[in-house]
């Protein structure tokens, strides 16, 4: 009850405007009852933020998305689902606006990696191919997650979060397709080569 009421208040009013007294009153408990479970308002906020991330991570994949086979398309679709969920009114303030300021960017990134890091690495492995080195997969996964986090922050401040999320996921899709093509060229020993038509014009 305490966490649920705190979540509603943090989402509606923000961290700074919500007091422990407000949360205790909404939950129907004494102020000491809140402190019995949480050492501080920051600790309670952290629990709320982690719950939101866990819910987004556990959301089922739509049946139509399971039919997609191209890794770049899969990642772009998953990114869109995340951006829409993270920028929804009940999540946006806690997750994207107050979250980094209250718990700090480092902790925010750690939580994000805990819930989504493994999936990002698996997705990047599929995109780059089984022959890709582990270090390359790890580096690219970090870049991918950084791009998605930045996209989420942009959605949080956008006038139209849904359209912004769609535009950003489409841009990410194009970037990933380019990465996949480059990876294939490297595996085939064609890095740095011009496309055949352009090679002919250079001759």
184: pLDDT strictly greater than 80: no
State residue 187's pLDDT score.
66
State residue 192's pLDDT score.
47
State residue 198's pLDDT score.
44
DSSP string for 121-148: HHHHHHHH-TTS-HHHHHHHHHHHHHHH
195: pLDDT strictly greater than 50: no
Which fold, 49-189? Tetracycline Repressor; domain 2 (1.10.357)
Paired tokens of 6: 């705190």
The number of residues in the chain equals 203
CA separation (Å) from 144 to 12, 158, 180?
30, 21, 13
For residue range 115-165, list pLDDT tens digits in order. Answer: 999 999 999 999 988 888 899 899 999 999 999 999 999 999 999 999 999
Read off the pLDDT band of 185 (50, 70, 90): confident
Are 53 and 117 spatial neighbours (Cβ–Cβ below 8 Å)?
no
For residue range 95-127, list pLDDT tens digits in order. Answer: 999 999 999 999 999 999 999 999 999 999 999
CA separation (Å) from 13 to 20, 67, 90, 98, 129?
13, 40, 11, 11, 46
CA separation (Å) from 58 to 82, 109, 188?
11, 18, 38
What pTM does this model have? 0.84
For residue range 21-56, list pLDDT tens digits in order. Answer: 999 999 999 999 999 999 999 999 999 999 999 999
- Among 8, 1, 116, which residue's Cα sits nearest to residue 55? 116
Are 9 and 18 spatial neighbours (Cβ–Cβ below 8 Å)?
yes
State residue 100's pLDDT score.
93
State residue 180's pLDDT score.
79
């Amino acid at each position: 009850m305490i966490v649920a009421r705190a979540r509603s208040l943090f989402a509606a009013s923000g961290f700074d405007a919500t007091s422990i007294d407000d949360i205790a009153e909404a939950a129907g408990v004494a102020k000491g009852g809140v402190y019995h479970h949480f050492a501080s308002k920051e600790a309670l906020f952290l629990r709320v933020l982690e719950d939101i991330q866990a819910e987004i991570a556990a959301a089922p994949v739509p049946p139509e998305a399971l039919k997609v086979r191209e890794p770049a398309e899969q990642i772009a679709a998953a990114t869109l689902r995340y951006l829409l969920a993270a920028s929804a009114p009940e999540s946006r303030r806690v997750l994207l606006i107050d979250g980094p300021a209250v718990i700090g960017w480092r902790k925010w990134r750690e939580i994000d990696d805990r819930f989504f890091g493994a999936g990002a690495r698996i997705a990047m492995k599929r995109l780059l191919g089984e022959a890709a080195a582990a270090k390359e997969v790890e580096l690219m996964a970090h870049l991918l997650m950084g791009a998605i986090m930045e996209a989420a922050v942009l959605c949080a401040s956008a006038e139209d979060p849904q359209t912004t999320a769609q535009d950003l996921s489409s841009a990410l899709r194009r970037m990933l397709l380019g990465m996949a093509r480059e990876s294939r060229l490297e595996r085939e020993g064609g890095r740095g080569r011009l496309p055949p038509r352009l090679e002919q014009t250079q001759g």
